[in-house]
Structure 1
Amino acid sequence: MSAYANLAYTAELNRLPYREIPERIDEVLDMVNLSKNKRQLVKTYSKGMKQRLGIADVMVKSPKLVIFDEPTEGLDPKVANQMLQTILELNREKGITFMLSSHQLNLVQKICPRVGIMSEGKLVGEGTIDDLGRNLFGGGKYRIEIELARVPDELIADIKKLPKILGVTVDGEKITVTCDKDIREDISKIIAHAGIIMTRMELKQDALEEIYLRYFKEEE
């Protein structure tokens, strides 16, 4: 069967008015960039094209909520990103809510404003990436990593006096500051005033994969 025939079958099963079916099929195929391939047999489609046709099959029904299980599984990085971009565009332009279940956390983080972590069938964490980092592990919104030529105790004491500081750890010549505000400018002034050479300062925010791994490490 062709893509068009597959979608027509879905439309008929969902009792769409017969006269509206051709226009609706053309509309959803255009959404997923398959208009030029609508008469092509689905068995000749690439895996990425089949995934996009799957989205079109759902869109024929004009849903308000779509649930996907591993939508990028088996796709190469380029095609996976195209798939996620299609989902993101449909969310923004059509107002459709998408719920994704996936183990490819780096891809999920690119498009999902809110995430949930499941463990043994239970939702153990839910919210934005920043919220999960704070709520699950008591951390701040920001982590600032600093590498210096030397790390005197007086410098650490001065950094700890800054507002919004939640924690300061030292590992050799590296300092990690956890805070609720981006205070790199304030830290830089303290380091400059102390006359210490700084080789690196980097603002880091928790990645979803890191949060996931840290959570299950806590569970062990």
Structure 2
Amino acid sequence: MADVIELKGVTKCYGSLKAVDDLSLGIRKGEIYGLLGPNGAGKSTTILMMLGLTEPNEGSIKVCGIDSTSNPVEVKRKVGYLPDNVGFYENQTGLDNLIFIAKLNRATSAEARNRAFDLLNRVGLTDAANKKVGTYSRGMRQRLGLAEVLIKKPEVIVLDEPTLGIDPSGVKAFLGLIVQLSRADGLTVLLSSHHLHQVQQVCDRVGIFVSGKLIANGPIPELSGQLFGNKLFTVEAGVVWRTLEKREQLVTDLRNIDGVCSVAYEENRLLIECSMDEIATIARTIVYSGIDLTHLFQRQYGLDEIYQLYFEGGHNHA
């Protein structure tokens, strides 16, 4: 199946600044794809080119099989875009705003009203349908913005920092809504965000941008494997040694567990690196050894560690 979003050799320059450098990327139908990177990395420029709002100097971009550069109007009919700050008619109700947008997208009055009510229900704003948007909270405005994006029945939605300024419970509800809509309607979602935990929660794949280049691309477990080898988990166990012999026997027993890659010990703790989740087996082994276990926790190499390695750890990605 062809990619819904396809970029090949895309470069965009602003004077001497190369904002996007030879970018090739494919995003599949029904996928939630996370776009990550620091400010100035090229994310917003990439989104603008996808939407046909600016043109690349080199390369080609297709969205739903349509060339974004030569036919931007058709692309806009297929794509819904939610910026970080959505504009509405503040003195109009949420319902009236949606009906207006639907009519702009050639819906009849009856179709616009039915579609607006349906979307308000789906985004959890039925009770606020007849309230003026000026009274909406930030979270309510973003949900209304999502309904506005969906009013024209797009095949792709692009969300640019959609959870900024929303409280934690609102963020959880909003992200859950994105996943639900993507899975139910087969929507392709491109999510640009700085919030790593949120991206890890909902995205099927991520792309990491640095200085206009896509330096990492794939599912988070795959990226972890590429960067950290087969050591995907680290288990720290707090222990109290009674004899040297028991310690040495325990280390040997732990190293013999399938999936354990290495065991290091310090004064009062063990650091056990694993290729799979073996925390239950590790706990049983320590308890059965007769050594006192004071604490046990597991850390998985995820998006936080990947991001830190690229942006703070000086990873060589050339």
**Superposed pair shares fold, TM > 0.5:** yes
Counterpart of 2:260 in structure 1 is: 165
Query: How far does residue 30 in structure 1 lie from its aligned partner after superposition?
Result: 0.9
User: 1:157, 1:215 → 2: CA distance?
Assistant: 35
Counterpart of 1:208 in structure 2 is: 303
Counterpart of 1:187 in structure 2 is: 282
**Residue identity opposite 2:144 in structure 1:** L
**Residue identity opposite 1:47 in structure 2:** R
Counterpart of 1:4 in structure 2 is: 95
Structure 1: give runs of 5+ residues left out of the alignment.
Answer: none
TM-score by length of 1: 0.85
Report which stretch shifted further, 69-78 or 85-94: 85-94
**Residue identity opposite 2:223 in structure 1:** L
Matches within 5 A, 1:42-81: 42-81=133-172
TM-score by length of 2: 0.61
The structure carrying a bigger helix percent of its residues is 1
Greater relative contact order (Cα < 8 A, sep 6+):
2
Report which stretch shifted further, 32-41 or 146-155: 146-155
Query: How far does residue 27 in structure 1 lie from its aligned partner after superposition?
Result: 0.9
Is the 1:129–1:206 contact (alpha carbons within 8 Å) kept by the matching residues of 2?
Answer: no
| 1:90-111 superposed Cα distances (whole Å, 9 cap, x missing partner) | 2233232322111122223222
Counterpart of 2:67 in structure 1 is: none
SS at match of 1:219: coil
Counterpart of 1:130 in structure 2 is: 221
CA change 1:186–1:74 in 2 (3 A) is closer
Q: In the alignment, which of 21, 30, 33 is matched to residue 112 of structure 2?
A: 21
SS at match of 2:166: coil
CA change 1:170–1:127 in 2 (3 A) is farther
CA change 1:193–1:57 in 2 (3 A) is closer
- What is the aligned residue count? 220
Tell me whether 1:219 sits opposite 2:314 in the alignment: yes
User: 1:197, 1:144 → 2: CA distance?
Assistant: 16
Report which stretch shifted further, 4-13 or 24-33: 4-13
User: 1:136, 1:108 → 2: CA distance?
Assistant: 19
**Residue identity opposite 2:139 in structure 1:** G
**Residue identity opposite 2:308 in structure 1:** L
**Residue identity opposite 1:128 in structure 2:** P
Q: Percent identity?
A: 35
Query: How far does residue 83 in structure 1 lie from its aligned partner after superposition?
Result: 1.7
Is the 2:221–2:302 contact (alpha carbons within 8 Å) kept by the matching residues of 1?
Answer: no
User: 1:219, 1:44 → 2: CA distance?
Assistant: 46
RMSD across aligned positions (CA): 2.5
Counterpart of 1:117 in structure 2 is: 208
The structure carrying a bigger strand percent of its residues is 2
